[in-house]
Structure 1
Amino acid sequence: MSEEQRRDSLAEQAAAWVPPWERPAPPTADQPAILDSSRSSGTEDVQDPQGRDAPPPQGAAGDDGTGADSAPPNRAAGDDGAAGVPKRQPAGRRRAAPPPEPAPVLDDAELRGALEAILLVVDEPVSELTLAQVLEQAPERIGPVLDDIAAGYTAAGHGFELRRAAGGWRLYTRPEYASYVERFVLDGQSVRLTQAALETLAVIAYKQPVTRSRISAIRGVNCDGVIRTLVSRGLVEECGTEADSGAFLYRTTTMFLEKLGLDSVADLPPLAPFLPDDVEELADAT
């Protein structure tokens, strides 16, 4: 090849060179390769007389003549049109859990039988609200049925009765049959409270909440040992401290009400009929 032919070849190569920023973008994985414009249009490559490919005409790679591919950039389908940002699908609505089936409403006879069965096995008074929750019935139905059951036992003359005690309901034996029940259950093995324990328990019941020093002042003797006995029997319990002295306060328990068959301490009998006539003189002398 002569020097002149070599210069012509270099000049042709320089003229055919396309800058990188004007070259077509390479096809991506999710975009099929774009066919050559000359082949897609049915034309064949143009060669120069020496058999080399002729440089592509200006603007062949794009309609705007810049040499860049005019195809739109690859964008994921999205509402905001941002490239590569997937379209956010609306969150599906969670299917709400089906509502629980309502409990069947018991008729009066079945409700009466269910209440009697529960009251036979309880070991402490049970409230109307607890019975309503267990039976899944309206609380306002429980009270009238219990009253009807109690009236029926009394009218029939049963040896037991249903009565309210300590804020709940429980079956009790009738007082007129207490001697027979005592003979069967206790059989001479009962542990009775001493006179000192009974006096201390009475002071706590009528003066509660009360401190040990106050109980000792009323009885005139030290009552620490007696109070420990009453606490161990479950008849008395601590209920805080006095604001001024910090001494422990004592009150009666639910077991105390249950043993006496009372609904609250307000049902205790008044003390006035049991006081001596000269109680004021005794108090002044003390």
Structure 2
Amino acid sequence: MTHEERGDSLADQAAAWIPPWQRPAPPVEAAAPDRDPEVPRQGPSHALTAPSTPAQADVPDDADVVGAAPDDAGAAGAAAGETGVVGAVTAGGTAGAAVVRRQRSGRTRPAPEPAPVLDDTELRGALEAILLVVDEPVSELTLAQVLEQPPARIGPMLDEIAAGYTAAGHGFDLRRAAGGWRLYTRPEYATYVERFVLDGQSVRITQAALETLAVVAYKQPVTRSRISAIRGVNCDGVIRTLVSRGLIEECGTESDSGAFLYRTTTMFLEKLGLNSLDDLPPLAPFLPDDVEELADASR
């Protein structure tokens, strides 16, 4: 091709060029149908007609837009069938975005099964088995929670078991102690039990420890200085002994002086066979006749 022919060709093209704003608008194509009858429907998808701009498409509030898919409507429908797409938004035969509607499952948490109600024979056996292994008195509420039974059944059943042991003349009985229940040997067999358990070894509480323990039991909560004032001697060593044996314990401090307060423990009630401190014998019969004069003199 010569230089002249090339120049004429470019000149002709330049003369025939029309700016875009002067070109006639292209004919508007008819909207694509929802689904081509010849194309098999894939998955649970439905092709929807969208506005002219994909961003203006009405998207349900409970739907998630998974991303733009610049592909033909058929590819969008296939993707919908594989990923569970409920609707595909298309504009002019082009998929603008695939909308995933998560199905709301109607599953509810099953109600817990009610605890089986034990008959009297099984309840009696379960209570006896637990009472044989406890190392301290156990309350009726704790037994009811462990056995998953109404607390109203536990108390009467324990009373019935205790009455049965007494009527049968067993060497042990079931008693209330320290706010709970526990099996104990009967007092008439105490000498045989002591012979077996102690085997010649005996550990006794001294008279000073008994006096200190009595003061704590009737005056609790009480400080060391108050105990020493009542007994008339220093009792620091005795208090340490009682604390180490688990008969008394600290229970706070006095607001004025900041001194430690002491009280009796559950073991104290258990060892004495008491259910609560209200079962302590009255102190008045053991006091001297001139106790008021002695109290005034100590002040």
Percent identity between matched residues is: 75
Aligned to 1:126: 138
Closer/same/farther in 2, CA of residues 12 and 264 from structure 1, 3 Å limit: same
Q: Which of 140, 143, 165 is matched with 2:152 structurally?
A: 140
Structure 1, unmatched stretches of 5+, are 23-56, 65-70
Equivalence map 1:184-263=2 (5 Å): 184-263=196-275
- For 2:211 and 2:203, the matched residues in 1 are separated by 16
Output one character per residue of 1:174-195: Cα deviation in whole Å (capped at 9) or x when no partner. Answer: 2222222222212231210000
What is the CA-CA distance between 1:158 and the residue it aligns to? 1.9
- Give the structure with higher Rg (CA): 1
CA contact (8 A) 2:54 2:97 kept: no
Equivalent in the alignment of 1:171: 183
- Once the two structures are superposed, residues 52-95 of structure 1 have per-residue CA deviations (whole angstroms, 9 ceiling, x without a partner) of xxxxx733x2349xxxxxx9455696526899565362563373
Which range moves more in the overlay, 270-279 or 222-231? Answer: 270-279
Task: Give the whole-Å Cα distance in 2 for the aligned partners of 1:268 and 1:185.
Answer: 27
Residues 66-81 of structure 1 aligned to structure 2 (within 5 Å) = 72-73=52-53, 78-79=58-59
CA distance, structure 2, for counterparts of residue 188 and residue 87 of structure 1: 88
In structure 1, the residue matched to 2:18 is 17
Aligned-residue RMSD, C-alpha: 3.1
Give the secondary structure class of the aligned counterpart of 2:176.
Answer: strand
What SS class does the counterpart of residue 144 from structure 1 fall into?
A: helix
- 1:204–1:215 Cα contact (<8 Å) kept: yes
Q: Cα deviations across residues 93-124 of structure 1 (Å, max 9, x unaligned)?
A: 37333233222211011100110111111111
Q: Write the letter of the residue equivalent to 2:99.
A: K
- Which secondary structure does the structure 2 equivalent of 1:109 belong to? helix
Deviates more, 1:214-223 or 1:77-86: 77-86
Aligned to 2:24: 58
Greater shift, 145-154 or 201-210, is seen at 145-154
By how many angstroms is 1:205 displaced? 0.6
Q: Which has the higher strand share?
A: 2
Q: 1:155 aligns with which of 149, 162, 167?
A: 167
Q: Give the TM-score, by structure 2 length.
A: 0.72
- Cα distance in 2 for residues equivalent to 1:115 and 1:90: 53
Instruction: Call closer, same or farther: CA 1:100–1:280 in 2, change over 3 Å.
Output: same
Stretch of structure 1 that moved more, 194-203 or 118-127: 118-127
Amino acid at match of 2:274: L
- The answer to whether structure 1 residue 95 and structure 2 residue 107 are counterparts is yes
Q: TM-score, normalised by structure 1?
A: 0.75
Bigger shift: residues 202-211 or 87-96: 87-96
Structure 1 residue 230, shift from structure 2 partner: 0.4
Point out the more displaced range, 121-130 or 78-87.
78-87
Q: What SS class does the counterpart of residue 233 from structure 2 fall into?
A: coil
Equivalent residue letter for 2:167:
A
